[in-house]
Amino acid sequence: MKRHKINWRVPKGAELTELDKKVLFYQDKGHLVPTRQLIKTPEQIEGIRRSGVINTGVLDLVEKKIHAGMSTAEIDKLVYEYTRDHGAIPACLGYEGFPKSCCTSINEVVCHGIPSEEEVLEEGDIINVDCTTILDGYYADASRMFIIGKTTPQKEKLVRVAKECLEVGMEAARPFGFVGDIGHAVEKHAKKNGFSVVRDLCGHGVGVEFHEEPDVEHFGKKGTGMLLVPGMVFTIEPMINMGTWEVFIDEEDGWTVVTEDELPSAQWEHTFVMTEQGLEILTY
C-alpha cells in the first residue's frame, strides 16, 4: 500500500494514549488517518450539537410551510428569519459569493440551486432544501427532500431510495472503519435500485468550518479513504440520480448543478459525530 503523509503526530513529551496507539497502528500500515485537529473536543461537539438543533428547526419549519405555488425565495426568507431569530447565521449567505441563505434544488437540479422569486413550486415537483447553520462559530449542515403534492411513482422511489442510501451509509460508518466503507454501501444500494450516484460532489468534514477534511465520497471501495476516528464530525449526503451520474454547472449563475441528462436527482444529508459506539446524528 502506498505510504501516505504523516497526519497523526504525538506532541513532544506527551504520553501515548490508547487512541494514539490505535491511530498510529493504522498510519504505520500506510492508511490515511486524520490530523488531531479533526478530532473534536467534547465542548466543540456540544457546540455543533446546539447548532444542529437550530438547523433541524429550520427544516422542520420548511416542512410545515412548503406547498405548491410557493416561490423558492419564500423558502429562503423562512430559513433566513428563523435562523436569525434563534441567534444564528445562515452559513450559505455570502459563502464564496452565494447570494441566498439556503439551496433549493428542484427535480433535475442536483444541488446548489439558488432561491428565486421566479421559481414557483408545482404539484409533482421534488425539491431538496439544504441549510447550514452557524451558532457561536459552530456549523451544522443538513438537507431534506420534499415532494410537492402527488408525484410520479419513479420520483417517489428516487426520493425514498436516496434516503435509504443515507441510512445504509450511516450503518456502514464504524469507528476505525474507513470513509470508503460509506461510499461502497451507498453505491451498492443505489445501483441495486437502478439509480446512479453523483461522483463530482461529496460529503465533508464540518463543525468549526463549513468544509473540512475528509471528503466523504458516496461511491468507492471498502477499506479505502480516511480512517474514521471517534471525535470526527462529518456529513453524509448522497446525491442519487434517476439516469446518468454525470452533471454540469449552470454557466449563467456558476452554482446550480444539473444532471447531464436532465432527469431528476434526490439527496438527503445529516451531520454526524463518530463515537466509540458508531455514528450519532447531530442534525435531522
Q: Is there a contact between 60 and 146 (Cβ–Cβ < 8 Å)? A: no
What pTM did the predictor assign? 0.96
Nearest to 178 by CA among 228, 231, 221: 228
Cell matching residue 123: 404539484
CA 179 to chain centre: 13
CA–CA dist 204, 124 (Å, integer): 31
CA–CA dist 184, 222 (Å, integer): 6
Whole-number pLDDT of residue 5? 81
Cα distances (angstroms) measured from residue 54 to each of 30, 153, 188, 271: 40, 33, 33, 13
Instruction: Give the E-state strand segments of 163-221 in sequence order.
Output: 196-197, 203-205, 212-216
Structural element, H or E, at residue 142: strand 138-147
Whole-number pLDDT of residue 148? 98
pLDDT along the chain (284 residues), means of 10: 76 92 95 96 98 98 98 98 98 97 98 98 98 98 98 98 98 98 98 98 97 97 97 98 98 97 98 97 92
Nearest to 173 by CA among 132, 220, 130: 220
Q: Is there a contact between 67 and 78 (Cβ–Cβ < 8 Å)? A: no
Cross-strand partners of 153: none
Whole-number pLDDT of residue 2? 54
- Model confidence over 33-67: pLDDT tens digits? 999 999 999 999 999 999 999 999 999 999 999 99
Phi, psi of 82 (to 5 degrees): -60, -45
Whole-number pLDDT of residue 4? 65
CA–CA dist 52, 45 (Å, integer): 10
Quick check: helix, strand or coil at residue 128? strand
Whole-number pLDDT of residue 284? 81
Vertex 42: Cα angle to 39 and 44 (nearest 5): 75
Cross-strand partners of 60: none
Nearby residues of 62 by Cβ (< 8 Å), 6 or more positions away: 75, 78, 79, 129, 144, 146
Cell 447550514 identifies what position? 132
Nearby residues of 256 by Cβ (< 8 Å), 6 or more positions away: 105, 109, 112, 113, 114, 249, 250
